[in-house]
């Protein structure tokens, strides 16, 4: 590997890059804060914890269904025609929830279902835009790492913003403000020149869309288990905090996990990496699984916080590398849909992790619940190892347009990651 000249500053100086990154992060605030905002609103309305969890879960299910469907619509019809209308409908769903409250229940559930289902696929859309904005593949890959780092910031700042709005006004105001901000973020993205000009490559008509790629299916299988590990850590962290008699400990653990991911993502994006990304992904996921292992020791709070930071170090690099793999394995004309499937699969895995870790805590305690994360990490590695032959044959090689084109034989053999060790330029 070699140092990457310019680093992230080189990315952010490119025309439109900072606007697209910030607009996407702002536009995704409603999605990143929905669970906590919905639960706080429901409790303020006098609803039970079960109802709060149920509404948040329905939002999550709607989001999981909607992301790949809307991603496919973006590939077919372009970003402005899908992203902004979807953001408006999603925000209107939350407005209905605020105006109607939690009674009648069917209306409340329908409102959060609509809000989740129509959450715009801004995350996948941004990754589809990077090649046309940045040109060189090494810059695109570094942008993926920057994207992963920025997500960690959003998932840290977002809940803090909701808490501040609740303290200053109310949970209802927090829901309305966050979703209004999200609409403005989506509007900023779709009004940009790259978003308006972007067109997906022609696609082969197929009802499976992006899912007809064996390599993409293998990657999704692996990242279901990465999501499971993350979801189980959230539950295990709560159990650990309760066991140490201080709820604030949970915040420290989650902040340390995010800080570790932030450090890892910055370090990863600051380097250029030779070799096929599929092979590197196996190494990163293996290191991620190993990083979860010390959490099962459940030492004192200070040591546990340090272990949480260590556990997060390889998360952002693994996600950034996965973005590259998605780009190489997405069928022609399905790039936004493919990225959206990765988001959905990770989210479904996280939900499964919380569902599994809860009973494990009740039956076997905190240590066993952290062991669920370890098992998820190694299961992800096992999937990548078992499917390495499939992943070794990418469908496409990223170029400098809105999508990808056919790879050369050398690229298909996975010998070199394009643009890195060869110094390929646009």
CA angle centred on 28, ends 167 and 163, rounded to 5°: 10
What is the band of 424 on the pLDDT scale with cuts at 50, 70, 90?
very low
Question: Which two three-digit tokens encode residue 398?
Answer: 């990223």
Relative orientation angle of helices 214-243 and 277-292, to the nearest 10 degrees: 20
Decide: residue 237, CB within 10 A, 0-12 exposed, 13-18 middle, 19+ buried. Answer: buried
d(CA 209, CA 206): 5
Contacts of 234 (CB under 8 A, 6+ apart): 254, 350, 353, 354, 357
Q: Scan for tokens 């952010």, then name that residue.
A: 12
pLDDT at residue 408 tops 80: no
Evaluate whether 210 touches 216 at the Cβ level (below 8 Å).
Answer: yes
Taken in order of first residue, the domains within the chain and their CATH numbers are 1-200 (1.20.1250.20), 208-426 (1.20.1250.20)
Express each pLDDT in 217-248 by its tens digit.
999 999 999 999 988 887 788 788 878 877 66
Question: What is residue 158's predicted lDDT score, i.e. its pLDDT?
Answer: 78
Q: Identify the bridge partners of residue 396 per DSSP, sorted by sequence position.
A: 406
Express each pLDDT in 187-225 by its tens digit.
999 999 999 988 876 666 555 767 888 889 999 999 999
CA angle centred on 235, ends 229 and 238, rounded to 5°: 135
Would the CA dihedral through 296, 298, 303, 309 be positive or negative?
positive
Q: Scan for tokens 């288990």, then name that residue.
A: 225
Question: What is residue 286's predicted lDDT score, i.e. its pLDDT?
Answer: 96
Q: Which of 40-44, 52-56, 118-122 has the highest mean pLDDT?
A: 118-122
Question: What is residue 414's predicted lDDT score, i.e. its pLDDT?
Answer: 35
d(CA 42, CA 172): 9
Question: Which two three-digit tokens encode residue 170?
Answer: 């109310």
pLDDT at residue 319 tops 80: yes
d(CA 356, CA 228): 9
d(CA 13, CA 264): 22
Question: What is residue 7's predicted lDDT score, i.e. its pLDDT?
Answer: 67
What's the length of the chain? Answer: 426
Express each pLDDT in 171-185 by its tens digit.
899 999 999 999 999
Nearest to 397 by CA among 373, 369, 420: 420
Q: Which of 66-80, 128-142, 296-310 has the lowest mean pLDDT?
A: 128-142
What is the band of 67 on the pLDDT scale with cuts at 50, 70, 90?
confident
Question: What is residue 85's predicted lDDT score, i.e. its pLDDT?
Answer: 96
Q: Give the DSSP per-residue string, 234-303.
A: HHHHHHHHHHTT-THHHHHHHHHHHHHHHHHHHHHHTEE--S-HHHHHHHHHHHHHHHHGGGGG---HHH
Evaluate whether 285 touches 382 at the Cβ level (below 8 Å).
Answer: no
Express each pLDDT in 71-112 by its tens digit.
888 888 889 999 999 999 999 999 999 999 888 899 999 999
Nearest to 408 by CA among 399, 400, 386: 399
Percent of the chain with pLDDT over 70: 88
Task: Count the helix, strand and coil residues of the chain and give each as a percent rounded to the nearest 5.
Answer: 75, 0, 20
Question: Which two three-digit tokens encode residue 325?
Answer: 């793999």
pLDDT at residue 132 tops 80: yes
Compute φ and ψ for 404, nearest 5 degrees.
Answer: -125, 160
d(CA 6, CA 142): 10
Evaluate whether 226 touches 285 at the Cβ level (below 8 Å).
Answer: yes
Evaluate whether 121 touches 83 at the Cβ level (below 8 Å).
Answer: yes
Would the CA dihedral through 328, 333, 336, 340 be positive or negative?
negative
């Amino acid at each position: 590997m070699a140092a990457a000249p310019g680093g992230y500053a080189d990315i952010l100086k490119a025309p439109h890059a900072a606007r697209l990154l910030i607009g996407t992060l702002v536009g995704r605030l409603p999605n990143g804060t929905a669970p906590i905002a919905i639960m706080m609103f429901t409790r303020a309305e006098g609803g039970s914890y079960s109802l709060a969890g149920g509404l948040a879960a329905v939002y999550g299910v709607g989001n999981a269904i909607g992301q790949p469907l809307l991603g496919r619509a973006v590939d077919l019809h372009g970003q402005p025609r899908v992203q902004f209308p979807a953001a408006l409908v999603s925000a209107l769903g939350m407005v209905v929830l605020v105006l109607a409250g939690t009674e009648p229940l069917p209306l409340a559930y329908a409102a959060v279902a609509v809000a989740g289902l129509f959450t715009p696929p801004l995350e996948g859309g941004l990754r589809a835009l990077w090649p046309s904005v940045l040109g060189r593949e090494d810059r695109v890959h570094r942008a993926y790492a920057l994207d992963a780092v920025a997500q960690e910031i959003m998932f840290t700042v977002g809940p803090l913003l909701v808490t501040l709005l609740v303290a200053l006004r109310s949970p209802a105001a927090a829901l309305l403000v966050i979703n209004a901000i999200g609409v403005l973020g989506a509007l900023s993205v779709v009004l940009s020149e790259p978003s308006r000009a972007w067109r997906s490559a022609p696609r082969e008509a197929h009802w499976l869309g992006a899912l007809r790629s064996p390599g993409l299916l293998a990657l999704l299988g692996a990242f279901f288990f990465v999501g499971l590990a993350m979801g189980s850590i959230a539950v295990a962290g709560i159990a650990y905090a309760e066991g140490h008699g201080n709820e604030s400990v949970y915040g420290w653990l989650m902040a340390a996990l995010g800080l570790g991911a932030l450090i890892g993502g910055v370090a990863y994006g600051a380097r250029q990496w030779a070799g096929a990304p599929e092979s590197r992904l196996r190494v990163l996921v293996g290191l991620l699984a190993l990083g979860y292992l010390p959490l099962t020791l459940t030492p004192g709070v200070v040591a546990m916080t340090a272990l949480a930071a260590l556990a997060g170090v390889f998360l952002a690099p693994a996600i950034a590398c996965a973005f590259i793999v998605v780009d190489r394995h997405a069928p022609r004309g399905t790039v936004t849909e493919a990225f959206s499937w990765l988001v959905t699969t990770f989210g479904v895995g996280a939900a499964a992790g919380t569902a599994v870790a809860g009973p494990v805590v009740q039956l076997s305690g905190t240590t066993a619940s952290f062991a669920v994360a370890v098992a998820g990490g190694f299961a992800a590695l096992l999937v990548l190892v078992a499917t390495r032959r499939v992943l070794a044959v990418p469908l496409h090689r990223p170029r400098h347009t809105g999508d990808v084109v056919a790879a050369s034989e050398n690229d298909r053999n996975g010998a070199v990651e394009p643009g890195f060790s060869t110094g390929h330029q646009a």
